[in-house]
Amino acid sequence: MSSNVPQKKFRLRHDVSLEQTPSNKGYLFDSRTGYIFLLNPTGFYISKLIQESFLTVEQIVDWLTTNFAIPESSPAREGVEQFLDCLSNYNLLGED
């Protein structure tokens, strides 16, 4: 990717609530639809990152690989992209 091309940034919509469960999992609550989306621990941490700030996929992957000692050879980027696609499909992301 060219460094001159801005990377898309992601953030949860302001009216989407994020809650953590005792088992380090969590859920998102969409107040517009009433839907609840269950999250595994990784999904919870990604959601927490994008709850307050607009972040690029690279910033999210960097945070995950640093804080969870994930090898660079892992498919972390693809997993983050798939998760963000899912959030986007359910209209849970705000506009940059």
Span 4-47, pLDDT tens digits = 556 899 999 999 999 999 988 999 999 999 999 999 999 999 99
Number of domains in the chain: 1
State pTM to two decimals: 0.86
User: Residue 55 sits in a domain of what CATH number?
Assistant: 3.90.930
Domain-located, residue 1: no
Domain-located, residue 38: yes
Average pLDDT over residues 51-58: 92
Q: What tokens does 8 get?
A: 């898309």
Share of the chain above pLDDT 90, in %: 67
Domain-located, residue 41: yes
Domain-located, residue 63: yes
Instruction: Give me the domain span that covers residue 19.
Output: 9-89
Q: Bigger pLDDT: 3 or 9?
A: 9
Domain-located, residue 76: yes
